[in-house]
Amino acid sequence: MLHIYILLPFLAALLIGFAAKKVDRIHTGWFVLPVPAVLFILFISKLPTLAEGKIVQSIANWIPSLDIQLSFYLDGLSMLFSLLITGIGSLVVLYSIFYLSKKEQLVHFYVYLLLFMGSMLGVVLSDNVFVLYTFWEFTSISSFLLIGFWFYRERSTYGAQKSMLVTVFGGLAMLGALILLSITAETNSIREMIANRSDIIESDLFIPILILLLIGAFTKSAQFPFHSWLPDAMEAPTPVSAYLHSATMVKAGIYLVARFSLIFSGTDVFFIIVSGVGLITLCLGSILASRQTDLKGILAYSTISQLGMIMTMLGFGTGIATLAAIFHIFNHATFKGSLFMIAGIVDHETGTRDIRRLGGLYTFMPISATLAFFGAFSMAGVPLPIFNGFLSKEMFFDSSLKLEQTSGFAGTFAEWIPWLAVIGSIFTFVYSMYLVFGTFTGKAKLDQLEKKPHEAPIGMLISPIILIGFVVLIGLLPNLINESLLAPAVGSVTGDFALTHLAFWHGFDNTPLHMSLIVVVIGTILVLTLKRWQPIYNRVPGKFSTDRIYQSIVNGLLSFSSKFTKFYMTGSLRLYTSIILVFLVLATSIFIYVTDGFKIAFDDLAPVTWPEVLVGFVMAVAAIATIWMTQRIAAIIVIGVVGYGLSLLFVFFRAPDLALTQLIVETITVALFLLCFAHLPKLKKSDKKPSEKLVDFVIAASTGALLTIVAISAHSSKYFDSISKYFVDNSYKLGGGDNIVNVILVDFRGLDTLFEIAVLGLAALGIYAMIKYRDKGDMNH
């Protein structure tokens, strides 16, 4: 069943183009909307099963020999993310129908969106780590396409490339961790790895596994120092930002840490790294958000800070911290998704996202302004019962006060966490108020706007209204989703399916409330004096910007690769051939030496007769003779002697099929040489220096010697049982043919043969196209 859920978006992506062409008057989004909506309903229907403490699973074989199965399971954690992926996905598709013009390449947009949706579902539902990794990289590719949707804009392609480089780098690190995990736990199943937790923790590979896995999570969830790709990804269309960067893609790293918490949580190194990086990200992201002037830029850095807060709580590893993290994942998706949509509405209706040109829009856009107030106040954690963000933020403060680390560096670090949490939250309050008041209050600057502002059409408002509805509803009735959604998710992360009652009011004698009041008071002062502090904001982080580090690394790699390429790409065919042969000889020789692979065995050899010796001698003489040939036609004929001599040897050794194949190939080769005769360079006496001739001789001799050694070793060394007996026994039985070679090529290796033919066909088409272009004088195009 779960296989179908994951497959549905991919099938829809395949078919959506045909449906859109049939009815071009209807916006393509209307054909896409049923996909996430139906999936959302199907996942909702599984909630009663999870509430009973059960899971839903589906298994199908993929590569059994490598223990790789398409095994998927739905538990509390994956249910939470699946509902966000499909629920927010439905609202984003609905929003995009009214946001994107029909003049855009809508089929491309929705295909990319559906591919991303299916990939995210694959990530959160996978049990096999290598299947998870496959879908993980699919999310990087599909998000690259979505971010770069407006490919004709330089900033869009830059943001797409940057996100791809950073997240794929993290994905490769994560792959290393997953390989080490599978070796250590002797399984590819996440659930079985969790069951073998003690073996992993006691392993010498524990630290490398943890670090590599966290690099993958940190890059995907834009944690310090990998956070700089997220603001550049804001060049994507607003529906993409609302979907990828508030509820789905950036939460993939959060999901990864949460999913593997049962293995790593409870260790000091996990607590220090995860909570430490999370706190740095929280504080840095919130400070940087306060200096932005683009609405989506503010929201981008605010997302970074909010993800840092969630990551910090997952690092705590306690039950209350995990509940707060899970709760905030849900809350963040509601208020941040709505704020991204409001930012898109402002841009759509005014023509700008520059907050310096905005202000006073409440008069013109009262509904959007009201929605923005609720979203921003919830993000700021204002202590009122109608904001769900306050509940999870107060739980964050509470969990920071109840950490169990009491000794060593971990204990010292734990004592500072409440202070850092307050600092980060103060600036969260600052950028939240800056966002909403700077946009909707004050004096309107109509002369600086490209359009006269007006309220958005109702179609664009439906999605943010629904999300803000959840902000208020969950703020007032947090236990509405507690038992059915939050508790099972927490149980999946901690292993303890316990229900904790959620409440807004805990009395005045409540330290987390005091911390929230401190945030509001100091944050209000900083908002009112924002212009005075602006120069300080603008100096952070200065020359230590991670974006500068990224640029220096990328530019350095480009410069190095350019210089290195120019070093060996000289246009000399001799140099290219020499480099290839030298590398082949060195790499193969080292491998043979290290593995003690050279052996000589004289048993099971066919007898060699004088005719075979004579043919071999003629071939050797012909091959050597080509060195001194000065006539092109003579060189072609002598080379042909070598090929036809090989065909004769195949006949002597009773391999008629190979002999016939060699004859055909050699005849075609000679014919092609003759066809190209007029274009071949004239042969002349070599004018190379003696040193160059010596180098050529050494390369040629060593290559020939290596191939001789490999041939002898291949015959003399048998590391595996020969598969020839299998072909002999089954060629007729399974392939229905008496000719074993033909059955191997057509049946046993049918796909290999098919792809070889396809490659030859593509090469032929390429050659044909170049010839046609050359005849028309269009080679430069």
Residue 591 sits in a domain whose CATH number is 1.20.120
Cα distances (Å, whole numbers) of residue 717 to 174, 591, 594, 595, 712: 37, 15, 15, 12, 8
CB 451 within 8 A of CB 351: yes
For the cut 60, the answer to whether the pLDDT of residue 777 exceeds it is no
> What is the mean pLDDT of the segment spanning 49-64?
84
CB 86 within 8 A of CB 39: yes
pLDDT exceeding 70 applies to what percent of the chain?
Answer: 96
For residue 506, being part of any structural domain is answered with: yes
Find which of 137-146, 534-543, 654-663 is predicted with most confidence, using mean pLDDT.
137-146
CA nearest to 471, candidates 552, 388, 413 = 388
Find which of 113-117, 234-238, 396-400, 719-723 is predicted with most confidence, using mean pLDDT.
113-117
Angle at 701 between CA 696 and CA 703, to 5 degrees: 95
CB 606 within 8 A of CB 655: no
Q: Helix or strand or coil: residue 659? A: helix
For residue 498, being part of any structural domain is answered with: yes
The total number of structural domains that make up the chain:
3
Place 550 in a pLDDT band, splitting at 50, 70 and 90: confident
For 452-487, how does the pLDDT look when each residue is reduced to its tens digit (9 = 90+)? Answer: 888 888 989 999 999 999 999 998 998 888 888 888
Q: What is the pLDDT of residue 685?
A: 67
For the cut 90, the answer to whether the pLDDT of residue 180 exceeds it is yes
For residue 72, being part of any structural domain is answered with: no
Q: Which residues pair with 61 in a beta bridge?
A: 69
Identify whether residues 403 and 481 lie together within a single domain. Answer: yes
Identify whether residues 433 and 497 lie together within a single domain. Answer: yes
Q: Helix or strand or coil: residue 128? A: strand
Cis ω for the linkage preceding 231 (within 30 of 0): no
Q: Which residue has the higher pLDDT, 152 or 310?
A: 310
Q: What is the pLDDT of residue 779?
A: 47
The string of DSSP letters for 694-745 reads HHHHHHHHHHHHHHHHHHHHHHH--SS--SHHHHHHHHHHHH--S-HHHHII
Task: Take residue 766 and report the two structure tokens written for it.
Answer: 């390429």
Low-confidence winner among 8-17, 305-314, 408-417 (lowest mean pLDDT): 408-417
Identify whether residues 448 and 493 lie together within a single domain. Answer: yes
Q: What is the pLDDT of residue 464?
A: 93
CA distance 425 to 289: 12
CA nearest to 38, candidates 112, 117, 110 = 117
591 lies in which domain range?
573-719
> What is the mean pLDDT of the segment spanning 528-545?
70
Kind and range of the H or E element at 58?
Answer: strand 56-58
For 63-80, how does the pLDDT look when each residue is reduced to its tens digit (9 = 90+)? Answer: 887 778 888 999 989 999
Identify whether residues 686 and 775 lie together within a single domain. Answer: no
CA distance 642 to 708: 17
CA distance 538 to 85: 36
Q: What is the pLDDT of residue 771?
A: 79
Average confidence score pLDDT of the chain? 86
Three-class SS string for 214-234?
HHHHHHHCCCCCCCCHHHHHH
Place 774 in a pLDDT band, splitting at 50, 70 and 90: low
Identify whether residues 201 and 346 lie together within a single domain. Answer: yes
Identify whether residues 401 and 370 lie together within a single domain. Answer: yes
Low-confidence winner among 80-84, 543-547, 776-780 (lowest mean pLDDT): 776-780
Q: What is the pLDDT of residue 781?
A: 45
Identify whether residues 515 and 453 lie together within a single domain. Answer: yes
Place 131 in a pLDDT band, splitting at 50, 70 and 90: very high
For residue 713, being part of any structural domain is answered with: yes
Cα distances (Å, whole numbers) of residue 76 to 175, 371, 373, 764: 25, 30, 32, 54
Identify whether residues 169 and 227 lie together within a single domain. Answer: yes
CB 146 within 8 A of CB 113: yes
For residue 299, being part of any structural domain is answered with: yes
For residue 371, being part of any structural domain is answered with: yes
Task: Take residue 333 and report the two structure tokens written for it.
Answer: 């998706």
Cα distances (Å, whole numbers) of residue 652 to 645, 658, 712: 11, 11, 20
Buried b (16+ CB within 10 A) or exposed e, 192-206: ebbebbeebbebeeb
CA distance 35 to 261: 32
CB 209 within 8 A of CB 200: yes
Identify whether residues 534 and 680 lie together within a single domain. Answer: no
Q: Among the three residues 675, 696, 719, which one is the final residue of a domain in this structure?
A: 719
Q: Which residue has the higher pLDDT, 586 or 661?
A: 586
Q: Which residue has the higher pLDDT, 721 or 293?
A: 293
For the cut 70, the answer to whether the pLDDT of residue 544 exceeds it is no
Q: Considering Cα of 19, then 23, then 25, then 26, what sign does the dihedral take?
A: negative
For the cut 80, the answer to whether the pLDDT of residue 757 exceeds it is yes
CA nearest to 217, candidates 264, 274, 163, 164 = 274
Q: Which residue has the higher pLDDT, 769 or 39?
A: 39
Identify whether residues 677 and 768 lie together within a single domain. Answer: no
Cis ω for the linkage preceding 225 (within 30 of 0): yes
Place 1 in a pLDDT band, splitting at 50, 70 and 90: confident
Listed as own residue / partner, the contacts of 499-503 with beta carbons closer than 8 Å and 24 or more positions apart are 500/319, 500/320, 500/323, 502/327, 502/391, 502/478, 503/478
For the cut 60, the answer to whether the pLDDT of residue 595 exceeds it is yes
For 364-419, how does the pLDDT look when each residue is reduced to its tens digit (9 = 90+)? Answer: 999 999 999 999 999 998 888 889 889 999 999 988 888 876 667 777 888 888 89
Place 692 in a pLDDT band, splitting at 50, 70 and 90: confident
Q: Among the three residues 719, 739, 755, which one is the final residue of a domain in this structure?
A: 719
CB 214 within 8 A of CB 182: no
For residue 271, being part of any structural domain is answered with: yes
For the cut 80, the answer to whether the pLDDT of residue 223 exceeds it is yes
Q: Among the three residues 698, 719, 740, which one is the final residue of a domain in this structure?
A: 719
Find which of 89-93, 228-232, 669-673 is predicted with most confidence, using mean pLDDT.
89-93
Low-confidence winner among 95-109, 164-178, 534-548, 708-722 (lowest mean pLDDT): 534-548
End-to-end CA distance of the chain: 50
Identify whether residues 645 and 521 lie together within a single domain. Answer: no
Q: What is the pLDDT of residue 775?
A: 57
Q: Which residues pair with 182 in a beta bridge?
A: none
Q: Which residues pair with 74 in a beta bridge?
A: 56
Identify whether residues 688 and 733 lie together within a single domain. Answer: no
For residue 559, being part of any structural domain is answered with: no
CB 146 within 8 A of CB 119: no
Place 541 in a pLDDT band, splitting at 50, 70 and 90: low
Helices (H), 653-689: 656-675
CA distance 312 to 330: 16
